[in-house]
Amino acid sequence: MASHSDGKPPRLIVRYRGKGVAPLQEAQAEIAKRGLQVVDRSSRMLLLEESGKISSAESLKSALPEWSVSEEIHYTLPDPTPRVKGPGKGISRDNP
Amino acid sequence: MAEDLTSYVLLPMRGLRVDKSIASASLSTLFHSLHAGVKKVNLKSLTQPGGAIAALKNLALPTLRIPGSTVEAAAGLVMRCLDAVSENGAKLVELSEEAAQALRRAQPGMRLAPVLYYRTADSPVPRVEVKAQSAAAGASVKVKITVLSKDLKSPLAGLRIVAFTDFASRSGDEAITNAKGEARFESLKTGTKVERLYIEPPAAGYHGGFRKGVTLKADNQIFLGPIDFATADGLRHYYGEKTKDSDGEGVKIAVIDTGIDGSHPDLDVKAGACTVTGEDPEDWGPRGGAHGTHVAGIIGARGKMKGVAPASEILSYRVFRAQPGAASANFAISKAIDHAVQSGCHLINLSLKYDSGPGEPPLIDEVIRAALEDAREQGVVVIAATGNDGRQRVSFPALDAAAIAVSALGRKGTYPTDSQGGGEEMGPYAKDKKTFVAAFSNVGPEVDVIAPGVAIISTVPGGYAPMNGTSMATPAVTGLAARLLSRNPSVRDMAADSMRTDAVTRLVLASCQSLGFKAQFQGDGIPL
């Protein structure tokens, strides 16, 4: 299930979709204008968090046309164990 | 002839239109030959000499083989084009599962996406999921189940016991064993008939347990058997005898997972990274649980246990936080994919998936999709688990066309009948009546291959343990891909671009043998 960590606003991921080396510094300049903070990076991506100022994924998209802007989401390990959803017919659960 | 046809959207691997400058000539020809009104296109031309095989020859891959049966099977397959975005753009096509498989095999540079339908956002009538409670009869008392080791008769603590009184509705109760191996249930009482009883395996050394149709007494005992390397599990049944010590030589593999225990005597993992935001980038050990160590052993163990490609070089990318059970962020996964590509990996193993909520359409995660596309363009093949939701749709990222999607099979006789493997037996069965599609496995038209994933014994911190899952089937395919690459150095040593990706994918698919299941369960079959 997608989960935004601890009820905080979702973090944004911007990823370079153009050819060649990603122009990270240019992107960071646009990001800084919008009050977003870079909290992690790779060669083609930046992870952004709001720092209390105005944030706007849409304006970032138009300012950085060669970059994709998406919310951070979370993945799990596939768990094969069947889980109980609740007590069934013929079962009584003692009330406290 | 009446055929069972499915609608798909046919797309190039990237974007909506074929770019002649990067697409293969045969893919470009295919797109330009399809337009609305063309009723049938014979796929024979793509899979017979003169079509895809000729294209393969142009790649100068002398060791590559395409089974004759594949060519013959494709001869009668047809595809209908119903609509098209443009001459070189996406097509709405209709074809059978077999034709879809043949087309994927012939053209790894394209995508066959399912046609999705949406509803208006109104509120459906609520459905009952759990039956109403009713009082237990007579002077019944609560029950206790004690779990002991079969060999030492010692208590096994910390094991979750799941008792289903009605499996279909997933009704029942759960409890955890204490230091004495005892689990006490809040609601199960003497005389309760349990339809299915599952006992999770201990951290190392023993199988889990499975019982059917148990009537509970006040005090119940269950013994778990020790794992035994003398009996071949599903992995060794299919891959053990053919394994050479040199398999995987020169092949670099990224395991993107919970981290790997590099100190395990059967593993030789010396490098990696942690890409979890805020955690030590050097800490690629098994902080997120035993899962990654198990996956790594299936690929490349080289001690008491042997993986499918023992000479492969494994890099550990930890993307799960140092807190077992926590989910992993797509940023961390994409960053690990980028790192793996830059580190010169040939293969990436992704035994993880996104959990779509009930009734939600499958997720298309544009961040990971972009990372997969970049990996593909740089010669890296990604192998991903279809998920374990019990015959539900294939999960992302396995459903992405840029990944090889792996479903799971089990085989009777490769685990004790009263162990956790028994709980996964479910039809359809292969002709040998022993091999089955694992009950937990997700299936669908995106499945590319199937591999053993029931009661697979592999390395864990502190020893060895059995695990179930498409998570275990996936590294079996990754290992097999590494084995094929080391035995076909002309493919392994190709320039790292999309030509290599396609060649490796073809190599894996061409090695498949059908087990007789429908394509939605096995894809092209089991790679051997």
Say yes or no for a CB contact (<8 Å) between A91 and B188: yes
What burial letters (b/e) apply to B415-435, b meaning 16+ CB within 10 Å? Answer: bbebbbbbbbbeeebbeeeeb
Whether B123 is a known active-site residue: answer no
B-chain residue closest to A38, CA distance: B277
CB contact under 8 A, B196 and A82: yes
Task: Tell me the two tokens of residue B306.
Answer: 């042997």
Burial of B96-105, coded b for 16+ CB within 10 Å and e otherwise, reads bbbbbbbbbb
Active site residue B418: no
B24, B28, B207, B257: which is the annotated catalytic residue?
B257
- B330 to A74: CB separation less than 8 angstroms, yes or no: yes
Residue B208 has pLDDT above 70, yes or no: yes
Q: How far is CA B140 from CA B102, B124, B176, B266, in A?
A: 60, 40, 22, 50
**CB contact at 8 A, B218 and B190:** yes
* Mean pLDDT, range A47-71, rounded to an integer: 82
What does the pLDDT look like over B129-163, one tens digit per residue?
343 243 345 567 889 999 999 999 999 999 999 99
Q: How far is B363 from chain A (nearest CA, A)?
A: 10
Name which of A74, A83, A85 to mutate to probe chain B: the one with the most chain B Cβ atoms within 10 A of its Cβ. Answer: A74
Which residue has better confidence, A3 or B466? B466
pLDDT at B55: 40
Residue A51 near chain B (CB below 8 Å): no
Residues 6+ positions from B396 with CB-CB distance below 8 Å: B353, B354, B356, B362, B363, B364, B365, B368
Q: What is the mean pLDDT of residues B470-478?
A: 97
What is the rounded average pLDDT of the residues B272-299?
96
pLDDT of res. B134? 37
Report the gap between the CA of A37 and the closest CA in chain B (Å): 13
Mean pLDDT of B319-344: 92
Task: Please report the pLDDT score of residue B321 as a whole number.
Answer: 92
Structure confidence at residue B44 (pLDDT): 52
Which one-letter DSSP state was computed for residue A32?
H
Range with the lowest mean pLDDT among A58-62, B11-15, B99-103, B397-401? B11-15
State the Cα–Cα distance between residues B528 and B525, nearest whole angstrom.
9
State how far the Cα of B286 lies from the Cα of B268, in Å rounded to an integer. 14
Tokens of B440: 């937990």
Among candidate residues A76, A25, A42, the one with its CA nearest the CA of residue B332? A42
Q: Which amino acid is at B462?
A: G
Distant-in-sequence, close-in-space partners of B288: CB < 8 Å, separation ≥ 6: B257, B258, B259, B318, B319, B320, B321, B322, B323, B324, B326, B328
Q: Model confidence over B250-270: pLDDT tens digits?
A: 999 999 999 999 999 999 998
Chain B CB within 8 Å of residue A73 CB:
yes
What's the pLDDT score for residue B12? 78
The answer to whether the beta carbons of residues A78 and B471 sit under 8 Å apart is yes
How far out from the chain centre does Cα B514 lie?
A: 17
The reply to whether B135 touches chain A by the CB within 8 Å rule is: yes
Backbone angles phi, psi at A95, to 5 degrees: -85, 145
d(CA A66, CA A44): 11
CA distance B420 to A52: 51
Q: What is the pLDDT of residues B16-63, one digit of tens each?
A: 667 777 777 778 877 777 765 544 555 555 444 444 444 434 433 333
Q: What's the mean pLDDT when you consider all of chain A?
A: 80
* pTM greater than the 0.95 cutoff: no
- Among A57-61, B179-183, B320-324, B347-351, the range scoring the smallest mean pLDDT is A57-61
**Chain centre distance of CA A95:** 41
CB neighbour burial string for B450-479, b if at least 16 within 10 angstroms, e if fewer: bbbbbbbbbbbbebbbbbbbbbbbbbbbbb
Which of B364, B289, B134 lies closest to A88 in space, CA to CA? B134
Cis peptide before B445 (omega within 30 of 0): no
Q: Is the ipTM of this complex over 0.90?
A: no
B291 is catalytic: yes
The lowest-confidence range among B18-22, B454-458, B503-507, B521-525 is B18-22
